[in-house]
Amino acid sequence: MEDQFYQKLNQILPSEQITQKELMENHTSLHIGGAADYFVTPKTSDELHSVILLCKNENMPYYIIGNGSNLLVSDQGYRGMIIRLGENFSSVWVKDDGKIAAQAGILLAKLASVAADHSLTGFEFASGIPGTFGGAVTMNAGAYDGEMKHCLTGARVMDEKGNILELSLEDLKLGYRTSILQTKNYVLLEADIQLSKGDEQKIREKMNDLNRQRREKQPLNQYSAGSTFKRPQGYFAGKLINDAGLRGYQVGRAAVSEKHCGFVINKDHATAKEFLTVIEDVSRIVNEKFGVKLEPEVKFLGDF
């Protein structure tokens, strides 16, 4: 049956865009995760549509990733297909009115650099977020008082039937780490951001300053999925974790970062089970001590 599925898939994508039994530890910022049955990298929206349609017709589960920067994949991997929108899906178009259109797979750092090249300001906050534009729009990513909703003007998405929809900023329903893309299972194809004319040197200075602050405060030299927990209303997750005495708390090779308690890190070939145990323990202990429930910001994929 797998051979038949591969043959059908190979009619849509060339073999160099298809991998079987691909280790997901090679495709997440945590460097954790077993093998996915299929791993594909479509280059166009037509290829993406055809791949999704095949999965639906063949009852093949699928999951779409970008840079894998907010994802914990099970040690058992993923029984289905991973569709990666990365460098094959990363075109960008700069327009005369300060508007930039970009595909989902472009890295935020690259998109911020393109904006700076054209002396456009308003996207500096995203320059150090280690993800793709698609993932950032889907979860309304933000940092240093900036969020995607502050610069987005609209998007083109694909629904579960393969229809391409034009969504306005209002249609996107962007909230704290959420959007309509999550609730409707839409896939971002492209989105538009509106920026303002600025001074290139000042823009780059601001980007450098924000990245310097990140290096000083966050464990960027260790494997993580960024902020592990959502910010609870009225609190800061990192402070709660620190005040609970959990700085450096470790299970196996997964641990709360000594540098920033809001990050759980993979110290040395940690397993997904170890990482999840740290998350669960931290959430339970903080709730017991302070009555605040910490919700993971990290997405979980596979069987745990």
Give yes or no: residues 286 and 226 share one domain.
Answer: yes
Give yes or no: residues 208 and 117 share one domain.
Answer: yes
243-259 CB burial, b ≥16 within 10 A, e <16: ebebbebebeebbbbeb
pLDDT tens, residue by residue, 258-288: 999 999 999 999 999 999 999 999 999 999 9
pLDDT tens, residue by residue, 109-143: 999 999 999 999 999 999 989 899 999 999 999 88
Catalytic residues: 177, 227, 297
Give yes or no: residues 177 and 232 share one domain.
Answer: no
**How many structural domains are present in the chain?**
3
149 SS3 class: helix
Amino acid at 208: N
Q: In terms of DSSP H, where are the helices of the chain?
A: 2-10, 45-57, 108-117, 133-138, 169-172, 180-184, 200-217, 237-243, 272-290
Give yes or no: residues 102 and 37 share one domain.
Answer: no
Domain of 121, in residue numbers: 90-216
- Residue ending a domain, among 84, 106, 138, is 84
Is the pTM for the entire model greater than 0.85? yes
CATH number, residue 141: 3.30.465.10
* Contacts with 201 (C-beta within 8 Å, 6 or more apart), sequence order: none
Give yes or no: residues 201 and 272 share one domain.
Answer: no
Helix 108-117 and helix 200-217: axis angle, to 10°? 150
Give yes or no: residues 257 and 186 share one domain.
Answer: no
Q: Is residue 82 within 8 Å of 34, Cβ to Cβ? A: no
Give yes or no: residues 253 and 265 share one domain.
Answer: yes
DSSP per-residue letters across 232-290? -TTS-HHHHHHHTT-TT-EETTEEE-SS-TT-EEE-SS--HHHHHHHHHHHHHHHHHHH
- Residue ending a domain, among 84, 106, 121, is 84
pLDDT tens, residue by residue, 74-95: 999 999 999 999 998 999 999 9
Give yes or no: residues 185 and 113 share one domain.
Answer: yes
- Residue ending a domain, among 184, 216, 248, is 216
Give yes or no: residues 204 and 94 share one domain.
Answer: yes
Give yes or no: residues 98 and 211 share one domain.
Answer: yes
Element housing 102 (H / E): strand 99-103
* pLDDT (mean) for 213-221: 91
Please report the pLDDT score of residue 183 as a whole number.
92
Give yes or no: residues 62 and 128 share one domain.
Answer: no
Give yes or no: residues 123 and 203 share one domain.
Answer: yes
Q: Is residue 106 within 8 Å of 66, Cβ to Cβ? A: no
Between CA 181 and CA 203 the distance in angstroms is 30
